[in-house]
Structure 1
Amino acid sequence: MSTSKRGLDPEQVAAYRTDGYVIGDGLLKPDTFLGLKNHFERKLAALPEGERPEDMDVPHFTDPELFRWLLDPDVLDVVESVVGPDIALFTSHFFCKPAGDGKSVPWHTDGYFWREMIEPAGQAMTIWLAIDPSTLENGCMKVIPGSHVDGTESYRRVTDDTSVFDEELDQSRVDASRAIPVQLRPNQFSIHSGALVHSSEVNRSALRRCGFTMRYISTSVRFNHEGVGHKHQIFLARGKDRAGNTYGDPTRAYPELVQTRGMGQRFVGAER
C-alpha cells in the first residue's frame, strides 16, 4: 500500500504564500467525497424547522462521524503543505446557500472573528470544499489576492438583512475591483489564509451552493482556553502539541458547547 502524501505541489504553496489562496482538484477520493455529500444531505434534511442552512456551524461538535472527513489523510496532507506537520483542527462549518434566497457574506477576514480565540488568528487556514458547484450565479466566494499581508482591520456595522454577519470591513479599505471569483466544481477546493479579505453575494439563482469549510491551525498557535475555551474545542489532528493546548476527543460529541454558544460565537468559522 502506498504511503505517499497528496499535498499541494510547490507551485501551489508558493501561490498561497503570495496570494493568500489557491485552488486544487480532487481533495477527497471519489467514494470518500460521495460519502460526505450523502452525509450532508441527511443532515440538511433533518434541520429543525425555521433554521437556516447557512447556520450549520461546528457540526462536528454534535456529529463525531464528521471526523472521518476532517481527519482524512488526504485533507491533512494539504494542510501540512501550508502549516507543517503539527496540526490542530480548529473548526468546521457546512455553509449552504439555498437556491433563491441564500444569504450574502460581506467583506471580512476570518481572523477578525477569531481574534479572542487563537493567537495569532491570521495564521489559521481554511479548506473550502465544494459540495455543489460554486459559481458567480449562485454566490461563490470572492477574494482579493494579496490582501492577507495588508493588515486591514477597520470594521463597521452591517444593516443589510441578507447578510450572515452584523459587521463588515470598512468599504473604503476594500478595493473590490481586484476581486477574483473562486468558482469550483464538486470535490474541487480552495484554501485561504485567515488574513485574506473575501466575501460572497446573495444566491438568487435556481442552484443551491454548499461548501464544507474545514479550518486548521499549527499546534504552535495558542488557543485561548481561559477566555472562550468553554464554548469551543480544538482537536489534535496530526503530529504533536507545540503551545500547551488542550485537545478534545474526536470520538465523542460535545452538545454542551453548542448549547452555551451565544451570538458572539455564532459563525465562529466566519465564511467564505
Structure 2
Amino acid sequence: MKKRTLVFLATMLCLNISTGCMAQDNNIPDATSKDIETSMQEGSTSVRSQNGGTSYETAYKNLLSFKSEDYSNSTVDEFDQLLTSTGDLSVLFEDYSAVAEKISEDDENYDFITITMNASLDEIYCKELNDEIGFECRVMKRGNLTEPLNEEEQKILEAEPIYDFQFYASCYIHYQITDKTLTVEKRDEALKTFRDDLQSYVDTLSEEEIANGNVKELLEKKAQEIADNLEVKKMELDFDVQTISVAGNGIEIDG
C-alpha cells in the first residue's frame, strides 16, 4: 500500500477526519491516542492555514523548539512522546507541512526537519493506525535548463524552471524499531545514509541508463546493497521503489 506523505497527513488532520478509522494499540500511551483524537476534533485550530495561518518563520521556529541540545541522545520513544505531549498535534503536523514544502537543502536545520521530525511524526501517526512506518526518500537527476526565447518566457522559467531531462523516483524505507533503547541519533543516521547514498548513486547514472534501462531494477538493487551495508542494530529495514518518472528529450515514462 502506498504510504501517505506527511503533507497529506497534515491535510487529513486539518479536515477533522473521523476518528473511527483510528486503530487501537495497547502499547501506545493513552495520552497519545487522546491527544491525536482531540487535535482532529479541534477544527477552529486546525484550519488556521485557511485563515491566514502561521507564517513559515513561526512554523519553523515551532519545530526547532524540539531541537534541544541533547535531543539526539534521547531514545526514539522518548522523543516521540515529547512531540505528543504538545497537545494539539494538528498544529504540529501543519507546521511540519508548511516548512517541509519550502525549506532549502542548504538550511542548517534541513536534516532535523526532513529526517528527525519527518520520521517521528510518521511514527506517531502510523502507530495510531497500526500501519507500517515508512520513511520516504526522493531522488532525482536533472539535465540542462531550457533556454528562454524571449523576456516573457524568461519570467515564466524563472518562476518554474523546465529542464530538457528530468528523472524522479520515490523510495520508501520501511522500518521497525526492535529495541526501545534506539536513540534518535542512530535512527536518523541510518535514514540519512540510505537517502544520501541512494541519491549519490543516481548522480552517477547517465541519462541513457535511466531512460533506456530498467531504472527501477537498478534502484532496487542499489537500495538492497545500501541496506545490507548499514548494519543497523535495533532496527529492521525493508524498502520498495514506488514511483518512477522520466521526462525529456522525447521520453515520457511514469510508473
Same fold (TM over 0.5): no
Instruction: State the TM-score, normalized to the length of structure 1.
Output: 0.23
Q: Which has the higher contact order (CA 8 A, sep 6+)?
A: 1
Higher strand share: 1
Higher helix share: 2
Bigger Rg over Cα: 2
Instruction: State the TM-score, normalized to the length of structure 2.
Output: 0.24
